[in-house]
Amino acid sequence: MKLLIPNSNEIELKTLILDLNGTLTVRGVLVKGVSKKLKVLKNKGLKVVLFSGDTRGNGKDISDKLGIEFFVTSTGEEKRIEASKLNPETCIAIGNGLIDTALFRTVKLSIATLQSEGVHVKCLEEADIVVCSILDALDLLIDEKSLVSTLRV
């Protein structure tokens, strides 16, 4: 996905890094509608991966269901290291926790979701964009003009 940001540079986004708890799921349950939107993004050529500390032990089940690769990352530093292997200048990250802070600092574009599990203030401070839900975050990537509009200088 290539985005031409008016009065700024063109950016190319190839990989979407998702957090699990409080982002893809709320209280352990996958947010309804996520699967369909991820299919749209995969069809657009975006690689989608899950980075999670796996607090609830359901990371594998959910990643299998969504057809995405799962990396167990127990700390924020582990998320940062895994992202650094994926050409972070072409990565988008979506998350909500303190564990996502270093990841947000590493990737090209970071989106914090403020759902009912909340968002850590440090994660919020590192985010490029804050949205109300994972569905809103995925819609920003599906409708690229909304994303360009939010990012333009």
Task: Name the one range near Mg ion by CB under 5 A: 14-22, 37-45, 106-114, 140-148.
Answer: 14-22
Q: Nearer to Mg ion by C-beta: 88 or 97?
A: 97
Query: What is the rounded CA–CA span in Å between residue 95 and residue 22?
Result: 8
Cα-based angle 132, 124, 43 (whole degrees, multiple of 5): 55
Q: Which of 15, 21, 101, 115 binds Mg ion (CB under 5 A)?
A: 21
Cα separation of 105 and 8, whole Å?
A: 20
Minimum CB–partner distance for residue 86 and Mg ion (Å) = 19
**Closest approach of Cβ 123 to Mg ion, in Å?**
8
Q: Which is nearer to Mg ion, 15 or 113 (CB)?
A: 113
Min dist CB 45 to Mg ion, Å, is 26
Cβ count within 10 A of residue 36: 10
Shortest distance (Å) from residue 51 CB to Mg ion: 10
- Residue 96 touches Mg ion, criterion: CB under 5 A: yes
What is the total count of residues that contact Mg ion (CB under 5 A)? 6
User: Is there binding between residue 126 and Mg ion (CB under 5 A)?
Assistant: no
Q: Which of 64, 69, 25, 30 is nearest to 46 (CA)?
A: 69
CB contact at 8 A, 15 and 87:
yes
Contacts of 30 (CB under 8 A, 6+ apart): 24, 62, 65, 66
Residues 23-42 that bind Mg ion (CB under 5 A): 23
Residues that bind Mg ion (CB under 5 A): 19, 21-23, 96-97
